[in-house]
């Protein structure tokens, strides 16, 4: 079973702070990486689909980078707002697993007003 | 929003009873998944389907079975529910376009409590 790790497990920041967290994964059979945002009592929603080493994606104040050779992806949030409070999941696509992405445990972000 | 519904949304049942959860999609996506969400484990794959009548086991399939007789419906059955199966169950769908497995779209979840 693939081991996808995310750090930190949880994070508390003040409104306006910028923050980032990490998704680490084995890189030998990398296929794609997805980032999801998961608000409490809702369903996960996709943020980014990343496939190429060096990929950088951006959506508003949230951006992500990908390093497939060393097996990590960073998610950055600039100027955090209370509505950014959620759990952020990464999911790894591996060639040997086909369409089944392996989810990390998530980073829970709380933005305090 | 992707057209995915789950039913029921909440269910309380007793140990030993059979339970079936339904996932229905209107997106005509080929791939469908059942996950369970548990504290400390995130999302874990129970079973998945890659087409009508084509299903396979995921990471935590013991005690669960699935069926997919139509593209739009994916059923998850607990043959004899146990307390360890108390969880929130999410259905998801995805598609493959131009050799890329796209992101998954999730249903609203079903909260199951087994007493």
- Residues B64-106 have pLDDT tens digits of 999 999 999 999 999 999 999 999 999 999 988 776 778 899 9
Q: What's the angle, vertex CA A86, arms to CA B43 and CA A72, rounded to 5?
A: 65
| A95 pLDDT tier (thresholds 50, 70, 90) | confident
- With a pLDDT cut of 90, the percent of chain A lying above it is 77
Identify the residue among A10, A35, A43 best suited for mutation to test binding to B, counting B beta carbons within 10 A and taking the highest: A43
Backbone angles phi, psi at B9, to 5 degrees: -85, -30
The answer to whether A106 contacts B42, with C-beta atoms less than 8 Å apart, is yes
- If you ran DSSP here, which 8-state letter would residue B84 be given? G
What are the CA-CA distances from residue B87 to residues A18, A29, B35, B42, B93 (Å)?
A: 34, 31, 10, 11, 20
- Distance, in angstroms, between B41 CA and closest chain A CA? 6
Q: What is the pLDDT of residue B2?
A: 63
The answer to whether A99 contacts B43, with C-beta atoms less than 8 Å apart, is no
- How many other CB atoms sit within 10 Å of the CB of residue A85? 17
Closest residue on chain A to B44 (Cα) = A103
């Amino acid at each position: 079973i693939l081991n996808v790790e995310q750090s930190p497990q949880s994070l508390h920041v003040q409104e306006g702070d910028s923050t980032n967290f990490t998704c680490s994964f084995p890189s030998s059979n990398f296929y794609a990486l997805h980032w999801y945002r998961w608000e409490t009592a809702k369903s996960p929603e996709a943020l980014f689909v990343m496939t190429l080493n060096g990929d950088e994606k951006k959506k508003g104040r949230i951006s992500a980078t990908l390093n497939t050779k060393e097996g990590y992806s960073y998610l950055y949030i600039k100027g955090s707002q209370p509505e950014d409070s959620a759990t952020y999941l990464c999911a790894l696509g591996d060639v040997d697993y086909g369409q089944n992405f392996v989810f990390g445990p998530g980073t829970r972000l709380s933005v305090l007003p | 929003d992707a057209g995915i519904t789950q039913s029921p949304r909440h269910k309380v049942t007793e140990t030993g009873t059979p339970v079936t959860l339904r996932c229905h999609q209107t997106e005509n996506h080929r791939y469908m998944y059942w996950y369970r969400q548990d504290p400390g484990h995130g999302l874990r794959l129970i079973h998945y389907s890659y087409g009508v009548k084509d299903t396979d086991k995921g990471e935590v399939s013991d005690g669960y079975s699935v069926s997919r007789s139509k593209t739009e419906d994916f059923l998850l059955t607990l043959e004899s529910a146990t307390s360890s199966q108390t969880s929130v169950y999410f259905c998801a769908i995805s598609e493959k376009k131009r050799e890329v497995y796209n992101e998954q779209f999730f249903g609203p979840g079903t909260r199951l409590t087994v007493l």
